[in-house]
Chain A
Amino acid sequence: QITLKESGPTLVKPTQTLTLTCTFSGFSLSTSGVGVGWIRQPPGKALEWLALIYWNDDKRYSPSLKSRLTITKDTSKNQVVLTMTNMDPVDTATYYCAHQQLWLQSIDYWGQGTLVTVSS
C-alpha cells in the first residue's frame, strides 16, 4: 500500500525559506520509472504543479517557480524534500506530495496535504 505524508511548518514569515518533507512508504524511489513530486493549491483555487524528482535523480521544475525551488531525495530514508525560497503571502496554500510513474505521466497517489500560511 502506497502512502505519502507531508510535514513541515504551518506558518512561515515573508522572505523566509520553506522546507517541506514528504515521507513515503509502499514503494522505493530507487525503482526505475518512479517519481515523487509536489503540487500546491491556494485556498479556493486551482492546483499548481511545482516540482518532481525521478528515481535517477532527474529533476523537473515549474518554469515560473524554478528559480525558487529545489527538490532532493533521500532514498534510504524514503523522503523527498522541497525547499522554496523567498516566501510571500501569495504562496499560502495546501502543499501535496505525490507519487507518479514515468509511463503514466500522471499522479496516481497523493499525500493528505499540509497547509502552509505565509504571514508576518
Chain B
Amino acid sequence: DIQMTQSPSTLSASVGDRVTITCRASQSISSWLAWYQQKPGKAPKLLIYKASSLESGVPSRFSGSGSGTEFTLTISSLQPDDFATYYCQQYNSYSASWTFGQGTKVEIK
C-alpha cells in the first residue's frame, strides 16, 4: 500500500499569511492527488484535483503543485473563512484504491 504523510498536523496562522501544507507519498502517484477542506460538522469540499487543477468555484488564492511523491497546497493569503481542516487524497493506480492524509488543522494564531 502507498502511505501518505501529511504535514504539519496543526498550523497556526494569521489572516493574510501565506500557508503551505505538504503531502508525501511513499511511492510515485503521478498527479493523482486531490485536496479537500472540511469544516466542523460538514462534509469535505473539493479544492484541487489532479494535483494542480482548481475546482470550479474555489477562490484563486488556493493552489496546488507537485507530482510523483511530493505535493503542496498553498493558500496565498489566508482569509477568515479558510480556518478549517485540510486533507490530501491520493489515488493508487496499482491497487485502484484511494487514501487520505491525516489532515492539517489550520488555526487562528
Contact = CB atoms under 8 A, between A and B. Distances in A.
Interface of A: 37, 39, 46-49, 52, 60-64, 96, 104-108, 110-113
Interface majority SS (helix, strand, loop, mixed), chain B: strand
A28 B50 CA distance: 24
B1 A63 contact: yes
29 contacts: A37-B98, A46-B87, A47-B36, A47-B44, A49-B97, A49-B98, A49-B100, A60-B97, A61-B97, A62-B97, A63-B1, A63-B95, A64-B1, A96-B43, A104-B34, A105-B32, A105-B34, A105-B49, A105-B91, A105-B98, A106-B46, A106-B50, A107-B46, A107-B89, A108-B46, A108-B55, A110-B43, A112-B43, A113-B43
B43 A111 contact: yes
Interface in B30-82: 32, 34, 36, 38, 43-46, 49-50, 55
B97 A107 contact: no
Interface residues of B, number: 24
B89 A49 contact: yes
Contact of A49 (B32, B46, B99): B99
Contacts of B89: 47, 49, 106-107
